[in-house]
Structure 1
Amino acid sequence: MTQPLRIIFAGTPDFAARHLQALIQSEHQIVGVYSQPDRPAGRGKKLKASEVKALALEHNLPVFQPQSLKNDDALVELKNLNADIMIVVAYGLILPKAILEAPRLGCLNVHGSILPRWRGAAPIQRAIWAGDEQTGVTIMQMDEGLDTGDMLHISRCAINADETSASLYTKLAELGPDALIETVNKLAKGELKAEPQNDEQANYAKKLSKDEANIDWSMDAAQIERNIRSFNPWPVCFTQMGEQTVKIYQAQVVDQTGSAGQVLSSDKTGVVVACGKHAICITQLQPQGKKPMAISDFLNGRSDWVTPGTVLGENNE
């Protein structure tokens, strides 16, 4: 290791805190931690510090929580930290050009996809949604574009057939910190070579929406099944079933056919519903006011909602 780097870290959720923890345990020096302002949380709506802020305070690191970085005062405050580099992980605020250029070595970002495959807000979810077989973490030099900077390091992992956004998030949260430390160490030694992204291969990973989670039974079963996994744990796919809206947590594609949305069979092994192509077998769901449950438990009280021939996605009151 050459001279340790003076680092500003900017991040907010748990995913970011795991990267900060790795930096704290490294030989580098954290000179400042930026995180979003405290937000109301819980029933009492009391202000709650982010996971990054809590970790920083635990280690007696200086914390900064500006509402914006787009003013002169914020720039002066950041420059006064005299950092070599700023590392940004799920921070949530836009960094203007002046901030990007303030540290001696600029700003690095940890992004949850193999760039340029998925740029934008929801790369983890969109990789599952699209049926990708692998994803990973890219460490890139930040520029003014949306995840368009030159790539410094890529770590890859497989996307399993039963992968949900929650499980893939955990994978990348374990993969990212090691990739970041390796990158920072090489940067300190001057051993990194930046690779430009190919814009022609880029896709935009737009945010998920509740409307998108409303199951369209005319879609192919394979796409619906991927939606169910990619929208778990939020916003969770749902459909109209019997008297209410029911969330769907687990399902498998089956080689059956019928009218889209029609229940083909219903027993303790699952509820089979026809899609635009093939069908899915629902094995775990959540009625309103209840916890997620196995289909066998659901059928004990609500089997009349899914009798064969019933069409889901319609109000059947």
Structure 2
Amino acid sequence: MKDTLRIVFMGTPDFAVPSLQALLEEGYQVVLAVTQPDRPKGRKRILTPPPVKEEALRAGIPVFQPERLRREEAVRHVAEYKPDLIVTAAFGQILPKAVLELPRYGCINVHASLLPKYRGGAPIHHAVMAGEKETGVTIMYMAEGIDTGDMISRVAIPIRDEDNTGILFDKLAREGAELLRRTLPELLAGRIQAEPQNHGEAILAPNIRREDEIVDWNRPARTVFNHIRGLSPWPVAYTTWNGENFKLWAARLPEAGKISGTPAQPGTVLAVEDQGILVMAQDGPVLLTEVQPAGKKAMPVSQFRLGSPMKPGDVLGVCPAKGTSE
């Protein structure tokens, strides 16, 4: 069946590449790769192809980059490849009904969360920011809603304090690819009974907005810590210092019992040392270990403090009024 089954793969970022590679390594026939258009990147705004496009071209797979897959001409183009199965992973567009109905084995998605939790475009970010203790990958049938289809298989992994979104992104990309390897033979043989999601337990994980990146020092220290690592290494949480944006790339929680001193208002800098900048949150401090002042590159605090005027007593951020919800 592998030699005759016609698969259209849809994906865009690095997360999707291992799943595409797994299909090829297992001997499946990927007849088309559908991905987002090339986008400008970096300060010089250089037009850059998505990782899935680069991988597909290396493998000799035709590439299609529609601005909108919903358009009739885009649907017709995909239909010309006569897919028996469509596999998606972080594609970035909702598949219209006309595409969902094309393949006889349906459309399946490799999604980076334990559904029905964290449906949407930023499931890893939101799971870390929410302080979840575990996350995972769910392979599901695609439906017209956002990540609402029946679940086919899943795998869970722990979220550790040393993990950030970038680390989990790589872990889940690998886990998703391996889950796809195990799932497809069972699926194609008809030996899997898909499980409907409990929509009452659904949690949405929309794409991160600019306002979501702002650190609120009035929140508990662990919430602030989760916020910072949940947005690292992209798009990166930030606060303000001396009236300019101050990005926070990495942080950790100080060991209990090692912090002493008088209480301070949230956002107050308690200490600036080589190991980090100690900043007060609602119920205790957070240690910032990698930062990026306005107009400069990210750097460890040991480098930042060389010549920096930041000192204990400085206040970071414009904190919302006390009582802000968590």
State the secondary structure of the residue aligned to 2:310. helix
The residue that corresponds to 1:20 in the other structure is 20
Shift of 1:90: 1.3
1:24-68 CA distances to partner (integer Å, 9 max, x unpaired)? 111221122111222334566454322212222222222222232
Aligned counterparts of 2:58 and 2:270: Cα–Cα separation in 1: 56
The residue that corresponds to 1:58 in the other structure is 58
The residue that corresponds to 1:40 in the other structure is 40
User: Which letter maps to 1:198?
Assistant: N
Percent of pairs with identical residues: 41
Once structures 1 and 2 are overlaid, which stretch shifts more, 49-58 or 129-138? 49-58
Structure 1 residue runs of 5 or longer lacking an equivalent are: none
Aligned counterparts of 1:70 and 1:63: Cα–Cα separation in 2: 17
The residue that corresponds to 1:128 in the other structure is 128
Shift of 1:279: 1.4
What does residue range 154-193 of structure 1 map to in structure 2 within 5 Å? 154-193=154-193
Instruction: Flag the 1:295–1:97 CA change in 2: closer, same or farther, 3 A.
Output: same
User: Which letter maps to 2:288?
Assistant: I
Once structures 1 and 2 are overlaid, which stretch shifts more, 137-146 or 92-101? 92-101
Aligned counterparts of 1:84 and 1:314: Cα–Cα separation in 2: 54
What does residue range 245-284 of structure 1 map to in structure 2 within 5 Å? 245-254=245-254, 257-284=263-290
User: Which letter maps to 2:293?
Assistant: P
Instruction: Flag the 1:169–1:218 CA change in 2: closer, same or farther, 3 A.
Output: same
State the secondary structure of the residue aligned to 1:156. strand
What does residue range 215-254 of structure 1 map to in structure 2 within 5 Å? 215-242=215-242, 244-254=244-254
Partners of 1:4 and 1:188 within 8 A in 2: no
Once structures 1 and 2 are overlaid, which stretch shifts more, 46-55 or 14-23? 46-55
User: Which letter maps to 2:307?
Assistant: G
The residue that corresponds to 1:213 in the other structure is 213
Aligned length: 313
Aligned counterparts of 2:303 and 2:96: Cα–Cα separation in 1: 53
1:188-219 CA distances to partner (integer Å, 9 max, x unpaired)? 22111100101111101122223222221111
Aligned counterparts of 2:318 and 2:69: Cα–Cα separation in 1: 48
User: Which letter maps to 1:301?
Assistant: G
Q: Say whether 1:301 aligns with 2:307.
A: yes
TM-score (norm 2): 0.89
Instruction: Flag the 1:242–1:196 CA change in 2: closer, same or farther, 3 A.
Output: same
1:230-289 CA distances to partner (integer Å, 9 max, x unpaired)? 011122122222363221222223455421111223333332221111111222212223
1:169-191 CA distances to partner (integer Å, 9 max, x unpaired)? 01011111111121111112211
Once structures 1 and 2 are overlaid, which stretch shifts more, 45-54 or 227-236? 45-54
Partners of 2:232 and 2:249 within 8 A in 1: yes
What does residue range 55-204 of structure 1 map to in structure 2 within 5 Å? 55-204=55-204
User: Which letter maps to 2:315?
Assistant: V
State the secondary structure of the residue aligned to 2:253. strand
Aligned counterparts of 2:200 and 2:265: Cα–Cα separation in 1: 39
Partners of 1:7 and 1:30 within 8 A in 2: yes
User: Which letter maps to 1:295?
Assistant: V
Q: Say whether 1:311 aligns with 2:315.
A: yes
The residue that corresponds to 2:322 in the other structure is none
Aligned counterparts of 1:226 and 1:131: Cα–Cα separation in 2: 6
User: Which letter maps to 2:198?
Assistant: N
Instruction: Flag the 1:165–1:135 CA change in 2: closer, same or farther, 3 A.
Output: same
